[in-house]
Structure 1
Amino acid sequence: MVVLSKIYTKTGDDGETALGNGARVAKHSMRVTAYGTVDELNATVGLARLQAGEEMDAQLSRIQNDLFDLGADLCRPDMYKDADAEYPPLRVIESQVDRLESEIDAMNGTLQPLRSFVLPAGTPLAAHLHLCRTVARRAERHTVELATMEEANPMAVKYLNRLSDWFFVASRYANHTAGGDVLWIPGANR
């Protein structure tokens, strides 16, 4: 259980922060960059929820919880020592990816195939979901980079990859009820 009685600790004033295993690292480390971007993504999802109807809001709520799981996963290195940990670390697992895929398939089943690229526009919800998509892609890039430097849960990368797909399809789904996609017209302003 988390108990936060004091918000500032002054322990980060020297430019370092603590990871989930207690190790201290620079605040600009790739691990902190990766889970910090996941936190930013979670905030953008909160903005999208302001525009969402009941069903999409429930889906976005589940995603926000998954993103906290993902942040906990990324802030805890040494995943191969998980069995020795006093408390089992939280890791993103396949069933979380499977749920995203199922929801993508359900939304996509109502949409026409794309014949052009879409612009990140349309309804307020669609625009917010496109913002979520781009931040998810950045979080994925940072997590992939982290994985080239030190160990990271491969399922974390898979989840972020599928999540950006989810946001793309969800944005199309949001626009579907409002008249359809906003399509890119190549060279339209030449």
Structure 2
Amino acid sequence: MTTEVGTGRPRDSRIDAAVLGAAREVLSEVGYAGLTLTEVAARAGTSVPALRRRWPGKVHLVHHVLFPSEVTMPPRNPNATLDDEIVAIIDGCAVIFGDCATRQAVIGLIGDLGPQADVQQQLTDRLRDVVWPDVTQRLRDAAARDGIDAPDDPTMVIEMAFGGTLAAVLMRGGDGLDDAWRASMRRVLRAVLAAGD
């Protein structure tokens, strides 16, 4: 059980998991446009008000489905090399974009966020306040272990990986994220980091 921020009431993590799982199922079946909070709540065995206490709207919920913490912040390996961390970033992006339903959801989410600058900022802050510092520290620690000076802003690597993966699946399809593509992306990202030496 976790505590709901700002309310002091206990927040059941089982409901969170059920809602996120149900939302992923709905996305796979009907895509982003067809997803409703009513359907997600019904499948998760909860209510729309309970769902909205956790995620104010559809875009918030889908953002958490698409960018789960276990993908954006996997367990740390204290012995990871810089190449290990780069591979982890590429693999995470491939997980997000490799599934057709997820890919369509990302595109739908981006479209919905366009006219909602305040919501877009909230969701951007979620990544920047939690994921970016974690990635920054991982890359800096790995670079230090490898005897390399990391650039001032190593999170540029994850931005390049994210954008490059999205572009790749749009141009190559989901099957385009094969071993050859991943190896090429690793070389590109490694070169970006090396440029900061």
Structure 2 length as normaliser, TM-score?
0.27
Q: Whose relative contact order is higher, 1 or 2, with alpha carbons under 8 Å and at least 6 apart?
A: 1
Structure 1 length as normaliser, TM-score?
0.28
